[in-house]
Amino acid sequence: MKRSKLIIIWIIMTTTINLSAQDPNYKGSAKMDVSTFWRQAEIVKSGKATSSTLSNLEKSFDNIKKKDPSYNTSSMEEIIITCKEKVNSDKKAEDSKKEKHLANMDAGRSETQNALKIKKMFDDVFDISSFSFKDLDKAQAENDAYKKEADDLLAMKGERDAYIAEMKKGNEYDRFVGKIKIGYDRNFDTFIEKVDKIMAQSTGGDDGNWKNVYYEMQAEQIRWDAAQKVFPDEPKFAEAYKKITARVNQYGSLEKIAGKNKENSAEKIKNQKLPNAAIKDAALEKLFVDAFNKKYSSEYKGAANKAIMLQTDWQTERNEISGVVTGRIRQGAIVYKGTDGKCYLVSIMHLYQEYIGGSFQNSKAVYAQYGQEMLCENAK
Q: How confident is the model at residue 216 (pLDDT cuts 50, 70, 90)?
A: very high
Same domain, yes or no, for 130 and 157?
Answer: yes
Residue 94 domain-assigned (yes or no) = no
Same domain, yes or no, for 119 and 252?
Answer: yes
In terms of Cα–Cα distance, which of 371, 369, 376 is closest to 72?
A: 369
Maximum Cα–Cα distance across the chain: 85
Q: How confident is the model at residue 357 (pLDDT cuts 50, 70, 90)?
A: very high
Residue 276 domain-assigned (yes or no) = no
* Strongest mean pLDDT among 3-12, 55-64, 264-273: 55-64
In the listed set 35, 60, 89, which residue is the last one of a domain according to the structure?
89
In the listed set 31, 54, 89, which residue is the last one of a domain according to the structure?
89
Residues with Cβ within 8 Å of residue 140, at least 6 apart in sequence: 215
Residue 226 domain-assigned (yes or no) = yes
Give yes or no for a contact between 304 and 334, defined as CB atoms under 8 angstroms apart: yes
Q: In a 3-state reduction of DSSP, which class is residue 328? A: strand
Same domain, yes or no, for 236 and 126?
Answer: yes
Give yes or no for a contact between 28 and 44, defined as CB atoms under 8 angstroms apart: no
Same domain, yes or no, for 205 and 228?
Answer: yes
% of the chain exceeding 70 in pLDDT: 89
- Total domain count for the chain? 3
Q: Is the dihedral of CA 61, 64, 66, 72 positive or negative?
A: negative
In terms of Cα–Cα distance, which of 148, 127, 154, 155 is closest to 3?
A: 127
Q: What's the pLDDT at 205?
A: 61
Q: What's the pLDDT at 253?
A: 81
Give yes or no for a contact between 291 and 307, defined as CB atoms under 8 angstroms apart: no
Residues 179-203, mean pLDDT to the nearest whole number:
87
Pairing assessment for the beta strands 359-368 and 315-318 based on DSSP bridges: unpaired
Same domain, yes or no, for 157 and 33?
Answer: no
Same domain, yes or no, for 292 and 265?
Answer: no
AA letter at 227 = A
Q: What's the pLDDT at 109?
A: 60
Q: Which domain holds residue 118?
A: 105-271
Q: In a 3-state reduction of DSSP, which class is residue 347? A: strand
In the listed set 46, 64, 89, which residue is the last one of a domain according to the structure?
89
Residue 100 domain-assigned (yes or no) = no
Residues 275-297, mean pLDDT to the nearest whole number:
96
Same domain, yes or no, for 165 and 77?
Answer: no
Same domain, yes or no, for 154 and 302?
Answer: no
- The secondary structure of residue 21, as a DSSP letter, is G
Of 44-48, 91-95, 109-113, 254-258, minimum mean pLDDT range? 109-113
Q: What's the pLDDT at 26?
A: 86
Give 33-78 pLDDT, tens digit per residue.
999 999 998 998 998 889 999 899 899 899 988 999 989 888 888 9
Same domain, yes or no, for 61 and 202?
Answer: no
Residue 99 domain-assigned (yes or no) = no
Same domain, yes or no, for 265 and 196?
Answer: yes
pLDDT at 81 over 80: yes
d(CA 35, CA 60): 9
Same domain, yes or no, for 370 and 308?
Answer: yes
Q: What's the pLDDT at 58?
A: 92
Judged on CB neighbours under 10 Å (0-12, 13-18, 19+), 306 is: middle
Residue 362 domain-assigned (yes or no) = yes
Same domain, yes or no, for 127 and 70?
Answer: no
* Strongest mean pLDDT among 45-54, 88-97, 153-162, 313-322: 313-322
Q: What is the mean pLDDT of the chain?
A: 87
